[in-house]
Amino acid sequence: MPISICIVPRNESKSGANGGLVAVVVYDGLSLFEYGCAVEVFGLPRPEMGSTWYRFATCSAEFGTLRGPGGIQVQADGGLELLSKAKTIIIPGWRDIEAVVPPELCRALRKANKRGARIMSICTGAFVLAAAGLLDGKRATTHWRHAATLAERYPEIRVEADVLYVDAGDVLTSAGSAAGIDLCLHLIRRDFGPRAANQVARRLVMPPHREGGQAQYIAEPVSKRSNASLAPLVDAVRATLDEDWPIARMARQAAMSARTFQRHFVSMMGMPPGEWLLIERLSRARVLLEETDASVDDIAVQVGFGAAATLRNHFRIRLGTSPGHYRRHFSTSALH
């Protein structure tokens, strides 16, 4: 099962968090969902977050009327000059992966990045960053349908086709459209800490972390049938992650034979029960690392891995980092 994120270690201070100006680039043929993700996370008033929360502006990539699907017209706050003031710049998709990226936009993005602005793309917006040369020698991702094209067209980019997003420090890319929200929440977590990200995620009625890369969406979707029959099992496992949960025990809890249970579980949840259990344990471990001072040994026991070495191994394989490194970057105490 692919990892959900790819984070490149970086050295940056977490004190004195200030979201600064987020400038979203708009263009004719605007991808409205991707644009909406940026607006929903960074553009809505959030007085509960305090005076250091993000400011928001839209920046036109070109002259003339800007339209989106469904007859929508967009009135930008300004032109490319706004990029010179932004701390974070978002490219919400692109009108077509074959469409030429305006040279003026490429130059403005390079200039902004050189002075220290973070550049972030959602979905096919990665092709804009690639055209600007901002992904050369870096890891990046885009929608799974276009990952091979991105890799072929720009061989100097290390395309991670299976992840939901890649944080390369000053350049960030997300996979398909909804993965843009995952990346936006990650940026909040990076800037303001896990509690702020969790609070915004609750407002969005979505989990603050999603496991499993975008490859899980490629072959065939998770069954649309209700998984209510598994709810008691799911609740029981989550309440006792520190205990052993072999297939036989899960099957008994679900009142099924082992073979029937495994087939039913995959149909309802979209993954084998062992894979789901591993994801649940890692998810709980991340919460404990973010929000408690418990030792890695204690956390390993609490989530059912038994030993710190096992927890570290799964962290390394799934998240590309260690529990200690993760805690230093994402715990509340480290970020504030």
Average pLDDT, the chain: 86
pLDDT in tens, 42-94: 999 899 899 999 999 999 999 888 999 988 999 999 999 999 999 999 999 99
For range 226-234, the mean pLDDT: 74
Stretch (H or E) spanning 46 = none
User: Is the pLDDT at 157 greater than 90, yes or no?
Assistant: yes
Provide the edge-to-edge strand list for the sheet that holds 171-174.
5-7, 165-167, 171-174, 118-122, 88-92, 21-26, 55-60
For range 254-276, the mean pLDDT: 89
| Domains in the chain, CATH or no CATH each | 5-204 (3.40.50.880), 223-269+271-336 (1.10.10.60)
Average the pLDDT over each of 4-8, 193-197, 250-254, 288-292 and give the range with the smallest value.
4-8
Considering the entire predicted model, what is its pTM? 0.64
Report the candidate in 171, 53, 167 with the shortest Cα–Cα distance to residue 112: 171
Tell me the DSSP string of 124-170. Answer: GGHHHHHHTTTTTTSEE---TTTHHHHHHH-TTSEE-TT-SEEE-SS
Q: Which two tokens stand for residue 110?
A: 């390079």
Stretch (H or E) spanning 13 = none
